[in-house]
Structure 1
Amino acid sequence: MIGIILLLTAVICLLSLLIALIYVRQTEIRLTDKSVDLGDVLPIQTITEDAIINGNGDITVGYRLFLPEVFTLSENDAQYIHERLEALFKMLPAGTVVHQQAFYYKGEYHNTEYSTNALVSENNRHFEGKEILNSYTNLYVTFTNGKRNGKIRKNASGTSLMRKLHYPFKQPFKDYRERLSEMEAFLLNFENGLASIQQFEIRKMNSQELNNAIYDYINLSYETPTDDATLKTVNPMAINQNGDMKIGQQFVAMLSLTNEGEHLHELVVPHTGKSKSYGGQIEVPDSIKSKCSMLYPVGLGLPFDHIVNVVIEITDPDATVTAIGAEKDALNYITNFYPPASEKQREQEAFCNEITKFDYQTAYTAFNVIVNDTDKTTLMRKIALVQQGYSFMNQSSCYVENAE
């Protein structure tokens, strides 16, 4: 009798375990037996001589970018910065990729400075311990291997960072020292140009800082930047059947810009959603009279941890005009029975004329916001606020990317 009871107990335990395993497999697919090493799909082959070397020959250098305090720039200051950056980008060779990565994360305000000024002391006491949004910015400049020759491309899959390639070798790109030497003049001009902007400060990242920055980004630990990534391990990544992506315990979502507002404004009086709708303690004014960047609603205007990526790839204007011209000619066959084709041809011709007339620098641009949270419901609320932030960018629209 005891033997039968023990047997039944064992069977029940096994069934319970089987049901639990089935439930886990239905809700989340763990990267176990089918897992791949991150190094097998990440194009980075090595970080050396203060540069990131990709397996296909792309070479990246990084900078810490120290920006002015929010709302401290006059219109003339902002216009000056815009013109200086525009001139700097024109100096870069076609195929260069400039990537600004801004990290925003929650923290508490602390001020240990003593002041005899009664007003300053009272302000310090008032704000002490309040929840605030911290921010820091990394800037990366990538010099591609020259095989694209500045040609425009239709999507982001042309960069090695987006290709799922298995590099059969572990040695770095063999000609990287020669490439670094070729890049030196461009980098020197770019660094001097950035440093000459009075409101900016820059500091080039060394190899260890580059390694730490990559770890913090991939691991979603940007709110607590690591001092030595070589002692850390990246959290496992998983995707469930609903297409939700997780890094460690964090659910992740990316919202990419799909359509800019019809009228672009360099300086606007920003409008943000009610920060209290998120439920946090950070106070974000919803109506600010001071003019600032058009991107403010998805930057400091979002009262929670997030990352903002701005990627600009310099393209060759002549190659751009040629490619658009060829696309315009290809539409000749359908213009007679498809009116939208004629309208597109007129837009293409106007665009090419503008480039030629005003000597504009052409570029491929991508923009996205990354949010993460341990709770799926809270993440959905964050996604809704990011979508609202895009709409405040002069009615821009975005797309919530899938797991792929």
Structure 2
Amino acid sequence: MEIVSIIVLMLVVAAIQLQLKSNRKNSRALEKILPIYKVERDCIISKQGDVTVAFTLDLPEIFTLSAADYETIHHIWVRAIRLLPPGTVIHKQDWYTDAAYQSNFSPDQSFLQRSSERFFHSRPYLNHQCYLMITRKADNRKPASSVFSNLLRSSLVPQNTIQEQPFQDFMDKVSQVQRLLQEGGFIRAHRLTSEDLVGTNEKQGLIERYCFLAAPDQQPVVRDIEFKPEWKVGENYCQMYSLSDVEDLPGLCGSRITYDKYSTDISKFSIGFAAPLGQLLNCNHIYNQFLVVEDSQKTFKKLEAKRRRLQSLSAYSRENAISKDATNAFLNEAISQHRLPVKAHFHVLTWTSHPEQLKELRNKTSAALAAIDANPRQEQSGAPQLYWAGLPGNGADLPLNECFDTFAEQGSCFFTQETNYRHSPSTFGIRLGDRLTGQPIHFDPSDYFMSTGVISNRNKLLIGGSGTGKSLCMAHFMHSYFVQGAHCVIVDVGHSYIGLCKLVNGYYFTYEQNNPFRFNPFFIGEGDTLDTEKKESIKSLLLALWKKDTEVFTRAEYVALSNALSLYFDKLEANKDIFPGFNSFYEFLRDDYAEILSKENVQLKDFDINNFLYVLRPYYKNGEFDFLLNATENLSLLQQPFIVFELDNIKDHPILFPVVTLIIMELFVSKMRKLKGTRKVIVIEEAWKAIAKAGMADFIKYLYKTVRKHFGEAIVVTQELDDVISSPIIKEAIINNADCKILMDMRKFQHKFAQIQTVLGLTDKGRDILFSVNRGNDPKRRYREIYFDLGGVVQQVFAFEPCLEEYYAYTTEEKEKIKVQQYAAKFNGNIARGITALVTESKQ
């Protein structure tokens, strides 16, 4: 059995010479009045004989819950409280401390990654830890009040301290509470160990942290505590605001309230009832929540006596008559609805090291209390005792005269139910930001949720109107994929990726009069092989060039082409001087294969080689399209991790467009099947509409259904919501096989969103969260918000806030792209140095 006695705890305290100063003339050593006797078996034992078990709680992330979710969590809390025996003290303690993002620079980071790290370095945010302490009061313990407290006197260990059977019974109840809290998957509870409570020489425990209001990652510090003339803990000036009087309480309470900042006239955005006192109160503070479970029969008997006394006095005072009615209503509700009576107390402890900020803290805290319709009341004389009761393990010393009578259902409404954004526990992910401060968040919309069963594929559908930041967002996604080793193939219309492609030294295929598309399907690059799939893709291309869509090819023609390809590649193998390409293949057909067919007496009705050569003559040297299939550079498409096909200038071309789409299809299928263990992603921007017209609808369907099996994902991007509704390809092939839906600002469509919501399969919760996008954004920051829906289970909004370097690399504005190219030209085409110079000038 592990036993950490209070002697060990006090050795740590004595070693750093901590001292409580009640005033300048009368100071008392902390170890003499500390109410903690020992920490044993991971339990806190007080000098009064109280036993406390402590947990750390992982709460749901803020802005991710619906009204129904809050009701479910509230119901779980009520059920958990009902498990505990009378006299149990439930002490929930939420810490909110100022923190700053610390950048992590490493030599293998890309130019944009380093720039982003510099941009977010020291970004302030509010760190949150939530603790739950469950205390079993000692038998025959005197109730705490304003005139009696263990802060005023220390006590010997009571004779009846810990007996094994009552202790085991209590631990069984605590275990049941832990399991019940974790029902539904909203809350996770982890038991705190003795080391977590007491700490070590290098790390502070929870008890020491509370005494000296220390940050979670702060080294052990020496701090004095004094309450007069000012309440100070070390250099920190403290204030306390309490909810302990019925007159100060809100008229109504519930599991949730409407957050007007993110609500619309057709959607109500829900946050927890106590959220204004938690994550939304942006300052150093601790929110202590106490519930004391009462004996129902004794409480009702006492209240009945009070009601009769008030009834006899009601004729003499209107106040007595009102109190009698209130007591009667309380008893009626308790008995008719089987309520559990509890005593409750809540207070917010704030602090700052700058005394000039005390007024601002007072205003912030008062506004937070007013947000839940409570009357702000600052504690003065009672603050020291309430502060002392908040010490982990000392919840039983909460003064009862600082509590009010209520029910477990109402009291648990004042519990905070959310925490800040969490990083995905995955090595793969995208950097986004939380909605409150923009703190960088590592979010994995693919692997992590696949492993947890939330989604069954990695495919994505992104919908965003013009000007919503869709292109910047997708460029950021593709850069994130690229630097993490993925192979990216992008089919675009609009030149959105030209800057990023140059920055990562990718292949950028576009059609210009003096620089047209150039491919070479006959070239076998490094890591590629002439397998059946390669041959089939070349045959499909040749047949597409030879035959019209309405024409069909015969079995004999197919066999003839197969034989021609096999013989051609045999000739290449025997003669290394021949460069593979359509020119040499055409010459082989004309000179060698025609002779072979003649010797074998192949009839024209079986394979008309003259017709074949005549139709494909424009693709041979000096022909109209001789550039298309005879490339001599950018040949290693299989091994190139970043390739962009810009189809804007050929999307209506009857010959070039079908050929290019076939080459794209062959390329990605080849990457899918041959790059084992490598992540593959294909992005089809607005080009999907043109591709579908070119007969590639089946390919899109095939991609979305099979890419998952090859560690890949397909992403389709569109900006027209009508496309989502009207296109059978989007509706049947893409939406049904894209478990991750990413939507940008949809507020302009909110009054005609019902049909789109049905098609996308969004829940009402998802709709309400979606309509909150870009509402109430911080004007001091330049960012857009993005909505993610993962399998209809996880709905969350993130902020995308690019640094200037990222913005110039991703921008789609024509003037800005030209400026970037001009600055890059000053550094011999080095786009990274050009962007650096442009950013430096912009800041100046």
TM-score, reference length from structure 1: 0.77
Return the offset for 1:42: 2.6
Return the offset for 1:396: 3.9
Return the offset for 1:349: 0.7
Provide the C-alpha distance between the structure 1 equivalents of 2:323 and 2:365, rounded to a whole number of angstroms: 31
Unaligned runs of 5+ in 1: 1-28, 227-231, 272-286
Residues 241, 376 of structure 2: 8 Å contact kept: no
Corresponding residue for residue 623 of structure 2: none
Corresponding residue for residue 4 of structure 1: none
Provide the C-alpha distance between the structure 2 equivalents of 1:346 and 1:338, rounded to a whole number of angstroms: 13
Corresponding position: 1:250 with 2:220: no
Deviations 1:39-92 (A, max 9, x none): 332321111110010122110010011111111112222211111111111111
Residues 268, 291 of structure 1: 8 Å contact kept: yes
Question: Higher Cα Rg: structure 1 or 2?
Answer: 2
2:224 partner letter: P
Equivalence map 1:254-265=2 (5 Å): 254-257=240-243, 258=245, 259-265=248-254
2:250 partner letter: G
Match of 1:266 among 229, 251, 255: 255
Task: Go from structure 1 to structure 2 and tell me whether the alpha carbon gap of 1:32 and 1:380 turns closer, same or farther (over 3 Å shift).
Answer: same
| RMSD between aligned residues | 3.3
Provide the C-alpha distance between the structure 1 equivalents of 2:166 and 2:24, rounded to a whole number of angstroms: 39
Task: Go from structure 1 to structure 2 and tell me whether the alpha carbon gap of 1:219 and 1:160 turns closer, same or farther (over 3 Å shift).
Answer: farther
Corresponding position: 1:374 with 2:374: no
Unaligned runs of 5+ in 2: 1-20, 199-204, 264-268, 385-844
Corresponding position: 1:48 with 2:64: no
Match of 2:189 among 186, 190, 202: 202
Match of 1:193 among 175, 180, 205: 180
1:132 partner letter: Y
Return the offset for 1:157: 2.2
Residues 270, 296 of structure 1: 8 Å contact kept: no
Provide the C-alpha distance between the structure 2 equivalents of 1:113 and 1:326, rounded to a whole number of angstroms: 69
Provide the C-alpha distance between the structure 2 equivalents of 1:104 and 1:395, rounded to a whole number of angstroms: 21
Return the offset for 1:256: 0.4
Corresponding residue for residue 58 of structure 1: 50
Match of 1:74 among 52, 66, 74: 66
Corresponding position: 1:335 with 2:314: yes
Corresponding residue for residue 5 of structure 1: none
Corresponding residue for residue 756 of structure 2: none
Task: Go from structure 1 to structure 2 and tell me whether the alpha carbon gap of 1:344 and 1:312 turns closer, same or farther (over 3 Å shift).
Answer: same
Corresponding position: 1:386 with 2:386: no
Residues 298, 389 of structure 1: 8 Å contact kept: yes
**Could you say what secondary structure the match of 2:78 adopts?**
helix
Provide the C-alpha distance between the structure 2 equivalents of 1:34 and 1:106, rounded to a whole number of angstroms: 33
TM-score, reference length from structure 2: 0.38
Deviations 1:136-172 (A, max 9, x none): 11110001124369xxx8xx628987652222x3699
Return the offset for 1:122: 10
Provide the C-alpha distance between the structure 2 equivalents of 1:217 and 1:264, rounded to a whole number of angstroms: 29
Provide the C-alpha distance between the structure 2 equivalents of 1:330 and 1:171, rounded to a whole number of angstroms: 37
Match of 2:152 among 154, 164, 170: 164
1:387 partner letter: S
Residues 106, 132 of structure 1: 8 Å contact kept: yes
Residues 253, 370 of structure 1: 8 Å contact kept: yes
Task: Go from structure 1 to structure 2 and tell me whether the alpha carbon gap of 1:120 and 1:233 turns closer, same or farther (over 3 Å shift).
Answer: closer
Task: Go from structure 1 to structure 2 and tell me whether the alpha carbon gap of 1:194 and 1:266 turns closer, same or farther (over 3 Å shift).
Answer: closer
Taking every aligned residue pair, what percent have the same amino acid on both sides? 21
Return the offset for 1:294: 1.5
Deviations 1:304-342 (A, max 9, x none): 111111111111222221111112222244322212101
1:246 partner letter: K
1:157 partner letter: S
1:394 partner letter: D
1:250 partner letter: N
Residues 67, 270 of structure 2: 8 Å contact kept: yes
Return the offset for 1:107: 1.7
Provide the C-alpha distance between the structure 2 equivalents of 1:170 and 1:32, rounded to a whole number of angstroms: 30
How many equivalent pairs are there?
A: 348
Corresponding position: 1:295 with 2:274: yes
Task: Go from structure 1 to structure 2 and tell me whether the alpha carbon gap of 1:30 and 1:158 turns closer, same or farther (over 3 Å shift).
Answer: closer
Match of 1:222 among 215, 236, 244: 215
**Could you say what secondary structure the match of 1:378 adopts?**
helix
Return the offset for 1:200: 1.2
1:136 partner letter: Q
Provide the C-alpha distance between the structure 1 equivalents of 2:300 and 2:160, rounded to a whole number of angstroms: 33
Task: Go from structure 1 to structure 2 and tell me whether the alpha carbon gap of 1:251 and 1:138 turns closer, same or farther (over 3 Å shift).
Answer: same
Provide the C-alpha distance between the structure 2 equivalents of 1:47 and 1:320, rounded to a whole number of angstroms: 33
**Could you say what secondary structure the match of 2:127 adopts?**
strand
Worse overlay, 135-144 or 176-185: 176-185
Corresponding residue for residue 94 of structure 2: 102
Corresponding residue for residue 235 of structure 1: 223
Corresponding residue for residue 291 of structure 2: 312
